[in-house]
């Protein structure tokens, strides 16, 4: 007789991890001596998965999506806020730790054993600096990529200020990006106006004329091809109503390519070359990752 006790075991597992995580969060609180007097962390404690590592993984996903997608994706406001605060705190932490080395008397003794000890004591500092540099690199690359897209689509983004669009511009861009967009397009307009446009007949002076022979507003190329990896929903397999099962027993997302009236299956774990507009919803829901 076989009794399936996997669910009971899973129940027991969950209990132990709950205790573990509470211990860890206490330990983490102890190390954050600087700047945070416990209020910040308390405020976020009831929200799930806000560890630095989890946030970094999300940031990596955002970065990779942004680099590969033809359109400007919505700015992850909360995530960036948390990350930037962590960078600041870590900077101060590193500074404080390195102050400690000045006072450390063991560094002055020149016996081989203690110098060896000093090296191993500096390893964490070395790693923390490298770690911070890595995080800052991702942040920089992410923001620069977004700025490049804001340059490219500046006329298109101006249309977002109209009433009928789904997403307001302030959701799509951060505060600094909004300012950059405004001022940069103002400067560009001034240049074009002074150099060329004022010599044109009045009906040809608009820079965002879409009625002429060539459209002047550059829209993102919605059906450009992208490489995607299908990672599926995070935890619960049966939570997504879009998932279906094919005859091989694999789970997949059915998608339709409008232009060709063609159906395609995106099986979980597969790599595809797809048109961007076909998988856009899945990307925004984090079921699919651009690679």
Chain contacts with another protein (rule: CB under 8 A): 24, 31, 52-53, 56, 60, 64, 67, 86-87, 90, 93, 97, 100, 104, 106, 119-128, 130-132, 134-135, 137, 141, 144-145, 147-148, 151-152, 223-227, 257, 259-260, 262, 264, 269-275, 278, 291
The minimum distance between CB 231 and another protein, in angstroms, equals: 12
The minimum distance between CB 243 and another protein, in angstroms, equals: 18
Select 12 or 123, whichever has its Cβ closest to another protein: 123
The minimum distance between CB 267 and another protein, in angstroms, equals: 8
Select 125 or 169, whichever has its Cβ closest to another protein: 125
The minimum distance between CB 261 and another protein, in angstroms, equals: 10
Select 172 or 230, whichever has its Cβ closest to another protein: 230
Select 2 or 31, whichever has its Cβ closest to another protein: 31
Characterise 267 by phi-psi region: left (phi > 0), alpha (psi -120 to 50), beta (else): beta
Select 155 or 226, whichever has its Cβ closest to another protein: 226
Select 161 or 258, whichever has its Cβ closest to another protein: 258
Alpha-carbon distance of 31 to 265, in angstroms, equals: 48
The minimum distance between CB 33 and another protein, in angstroms, equals: 10
The minimum distance between CB 245 and another protein, in angstroms, equals: 18
- How many other CB atoms sit within 10 Å of the CB of residue 80? 17
């Amino acid at each position: 007789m076989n009794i399936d006790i996997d669910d009971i075991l899973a129940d027991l597992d969950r209990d132990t991890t709950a205790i573990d995580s509470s211990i860890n969060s206490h330990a983490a609180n102890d190390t954050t001596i600087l700047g945070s007097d416990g209020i910040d962390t308390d405020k976020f404690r009831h929200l799930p998965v806000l560890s630095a590592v989890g946030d970094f993984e999300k940031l990596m996903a955002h970065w990779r999506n942004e680099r590969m997608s033809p359109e400007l994706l919505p700015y992850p406001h909360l995530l960036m806020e948390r990350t930037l605060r962590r960078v600041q705190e870590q900077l101060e932490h590193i500074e404080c730790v390195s102050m400690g080395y000045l006072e450390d008397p063991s560094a002055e003794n020149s016996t081989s054993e203690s110098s060896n000890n000093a090296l191993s004591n500096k390893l964490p500092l070395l790693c923390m600096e490298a770690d911070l540099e890595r995080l800052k690199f991702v942040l920089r690359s992410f923001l620069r990529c977004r700025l490049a897209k804001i340059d490219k689509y500046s006329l298109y983004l101006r249309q977002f200020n109209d009433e009928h669009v789904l997403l307001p511009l302030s959701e799509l861009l951060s505060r600094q990006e909004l300012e950059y967009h405004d001022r940069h397009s103002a400067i560009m307009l001034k240049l074009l106006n002074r150099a060329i446009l004022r010599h044109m007949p009045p009906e040809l002076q608009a820079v965002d004329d879409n009625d002429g022979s060539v459209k002047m507003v550059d829209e993102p190329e919605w059906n450009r091809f992208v490489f995607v990896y299908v990672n599926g929903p995070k935890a619960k397999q049966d939570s997504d109503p879009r998932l279906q099962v094919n005859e091989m027993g694999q789970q997949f997302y059915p998608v339709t390519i409008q232009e060709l009236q063609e159906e395609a299956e995106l099986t979980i774990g597969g790599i595809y070359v797809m048109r961007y507009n076909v998988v856009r919803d899945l990307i925004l829901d984090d079921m699919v990752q651009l690679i």
